[in-house]
Chains A and B, each alone.
Chain A
Amino acid sequence: MFKKADNNALWAIGISLALFFIGGILTTVVPPLVDTTWAKPFENHDPAKGVTGKVVPLTDLQKKGRAIYVREGCWYCHTQQVRTLLADTKRYGWRGVDAPISTPDEFVYDDPHMFGTKRTGPDLARVGGKYDEQWHRTHFRNPRDLVKGSIMPPYPWIVNNPEEFKAMVAYLQSLGRGKDWRPANDYEK
């Protein structure tokens, strides 16, 4: 079969595509059909089944903030996923409570997805509710004023634009709150 592809271009093209499509279809089209949690938003009201909560679509203001997050490329340095590793659940927890592991059903409304690949800064999957608005204002103006040694760029044009800043904070406060794992208004100083 492969020998024939040496001399016959159509044959070579046919086999190349056939081999490619076996894996291509089985790993892209099939998985969402098999694992339905990819498309069903998280909802649980029974504490016996684990952490409770409900994932809802973003408000218009949060969506606007999310667009700024995408525009400024925040996702090149911040991931949004608490992985199935103690190092993640402990590090991104709050006052001794482990951060719940991120599951596909929490991200059904995410478009574009913001999972990320690189943590130059910390993970933001559960950052919602961690810092208050004043903290974010100071931090966006110059991160090094609050976190000595930080290498995050300053974003004065966001802080100086009240509309954008409000939207940005609204988005950040929504992150990871689909699962009720932490109290509201309990900010880090």
Chain B
Amino acid sequence: MQPQFSKAEVATTPEGALVHDDSTAKWFLVSSVAYFFIVGIIAVIIAAKFVWPDLMGTMSWLTYGRLRPLHVNGMLFGWLLAADMGLAYYVIPRLCGVKLWSEKLGLATAILWNVIILGAVVTLLAGQNQGWEYAELPWYLDVLVVAAWIMFGLNVLMTVASRKHQAMYVTIWYTMGCILWTAFVYLTGNFATLVTTGTNQANLNWMYVHNAVGLIFTPIGLAIAYYFIPRASNTPLHSHKLSMVGFWSLAFVYVWTGAHHMLHGPISQWLQTIAIAFSLMLLIPVWAVVYNLFATMKGQWHQLRESVPLKFLMSGVVFYLLTCFQGPMHSLRTVNAIVSKTDWIPGHAHMAVLGCFSFFAIAGTYFTVPKLWGKPLHSQSLANWSYWMLMIGGLGFFTTLWLGGFWQGWQWNNWSIPFIDTVIALRPIWIVRFVSGILMFIGIVMFAYNILATALGDQQEAAV
């Protein structure tokens, strides 16, 4: 197990004298991994509620309607975005050849972020829900999120401004893009919605929801993939030019597509058509990125056998390709008439956020934590198991929901079938989803335990 670790270790310290503090990265990573585990419990509970609807059903704060926003917000902001930020705090100073601009500001950001997540748990369980997807948190927590984002952005941008190397690697562009776009996307979804109503508000809401994935998690996720795939495989990136094509086309086409969440719905037809056209154009940035990352691995695929981070990274790229093929196809009116509002939707959303971006973040965490704490990963075989659990559970989850979604949509389109019969028909699908969820949760527990045991366990334990 050691060669892969030490080989990469040599590659990351060309500056020699420069010693990074990294306490901000450590705090973000440890807390995000803990939330991944905690929110994973909620995920399993709500999957179980589809099969046993009376489960914990008489306590208002444990009903599906309260736990679902906690699951979504907890996974998106408590786990994934926090892990991505932690990795950015690690990656950006190294790519710039300087120390993080302010470690104190970084630590304050980490504390504030934890305050936000804990506040989210309390308010969401209490039913303090604003009523917009991905923007459920009450306004005072939204203000704190904006403050934390400014602190994060300032730290990263100032680090970039003080960089030693003139040329910026693609990871830096994506991270800067994420910081800037997120600011406007988040303000639109959480504040502009406050002064609008009806269709106008829904349009702003979907612009935010869609771009929360497209212009927040995609750029920061790709930033991580672009850094860790070459790093973990000790192979240079295939093409700088192709990474530019991917980045600039992403910047242009993503924001147009929000209205595809309301196809056939009460929103202007021409706006739906615009959203469809740009949804198809998304194939350009996606295929540019995917080809670039695959070509980087050319002749290096055998490395996947030994390296858990590479397994997660390249599986994530495959899921990125798949989910970003689904999205444009699903936005075609004829396909949308079948799958829209069905269980296909959570299948698609989970493949993007879990199968792709969480896999990238998990890979980055596995790669950096041993370096951050200066000791080998607690257990390589446990890490390998966590990959297979998440992979098998994830595939079970995605495929059953896609098939189930089509099946459900076809049933709905025959209006002589009573609605309740279409619910009863889906029960086997939800049972498989629950079992897959258990497998994924076991994978999460293995991952979280491995990381925390590496970080917090004593040296001797780690050496076993």
Contact = CB atoms under 8 A, between A and B. Distances in A.
Interface of A: 2, 5-7, 9, 12-13, 15-17, 19-20, 22-24, 26-28, 31-32, 34-35, 37-39, 70-77, 79, 81, 83-88, 90-91, 101-104, 106-122, 143-144, 147-157
Contact of B176 (A12, A116, A150): A12
Contact of B198 (A79, A104, A117): A104
4 smallest A-B Cβ distances: which pairs?
A73-B65, A112-B131, A107-B198, A83-B264
Q: Which of A85, A111, A149, A157 has the most CB of B within 10 A?
A: A85
Contact of B253 (A12, A23, A116): A23
A104 B131 contact: no
Contacts of B192: 28
Given A120-B423, A154-B54, 19 more contacts: A6-B244, A7-B166, A17-B180, A20-B252, A23-B278, A24-B207, A26-B256, A28-B258, A72-B63, A87-B412, A107-B199, A108-B197, A111-B201, A112-B131, A112-B201, A113-B131, A121-B423, A147-B420, A156-B58
Given A27-B258, A35-B268, A149-B423, A115 B49 contact: no
Contacts of B201: 110-113
Nearest to A1: B248
A35 B12 CA distance: 55
Nearest to B346: A118
B413 interface: yes
Contacts of B197: 107-111, 113
Given A91-B412, A111-B197, A151 B53 contact: yes
Contacts of B420: 147-150
Nearest to B274: A27
B202 A115 contact: yes
Given A27-B274, A31-B203, A91-B412, A107 B251 contact: no
Q: Which of A7, A26, A79, A120 has the most CB of B within 10 A?
A: A120
B415 A9 contact: no
A81 B258 contact: no
A87 B413 contact: yes
Interface in B258-286: 258-259, 261-262, 264-268, 271, 274-275, 278
Nearest to B412: A87
Interface string B179-211: 011001000100011001111111111010000
B69 interface: yes
Given A27-B259, A91-B419, A157-B60, A70 B251 contact: no
8 contacts: A7-B168, A9-B176, A23-B256, A70-B129, A70-B131, A85-B264, A91-B419, A113-B132
Contacts of A85: 264, 337, 413
Contacts of B200: 31-32, 38-39
Given A31-B271, A38-B198, A117-B133, A150 B423 contact: yes
A122 B419 contact: yes
B341 interface: yes
A27 B215 contact: no
Interface of B: 49-50, 53-54, 57-58, 60, 63-66, 68-69, 127-133, 157, 160-161, 166-168, 173, 176-177, 180-181, 184, 188, 192-193, 196-205, 207, 215, 244, 248, 251-256, 258-259, 261-262, 264-268, 271, 274-275, 278, 337, 341-342, 345-346, 412-415, 419-421, 423-424
A121 B58 CA distance: 19
A81 B265 contact: yes
Contact of B266 (A16, A24, A115): A115
A12 B265 CA distance: 37
Nearest to A5: B173
A183 B413 CA distance: 26
B202 A79 contact: no
B446 to A, nearest CB: 30
A151 to B, nearest CB: 4
B198 A72 contact: no
A123 to B, nearest CB: 8
Contacts of A34: 268
Contacts of B268: 31, 34-35, 37-38, 104
Nearest to B59: A157
A58 to B, nearest CB: 12
A74 B66 CA distance: 10
A93 B244 CA distance: 51
A32 B192 CA distance: 13
Given A2-B244, A16-B180, A156-B58, A22 B252 contact: yes
A153 B207 contact: no
Contacts of A35: 268, 271
Contact of B256 (A27, A118, A154): A27
A144 B423 CA distance: 13
B57 A154 contact: yes
A71 B64 CA distance: 12
Contact of B129 (A73, A77, A88, A156): A73
Nearest to A147: B420
Contacts of A119: 341-342, 412
Given A107-B198, A117-B341, A149-B424, A24 B184 contact: yes
Contacts of B132: 112-113
B187 to A, nearest CB: 11
A85 B410 CA distance: 13
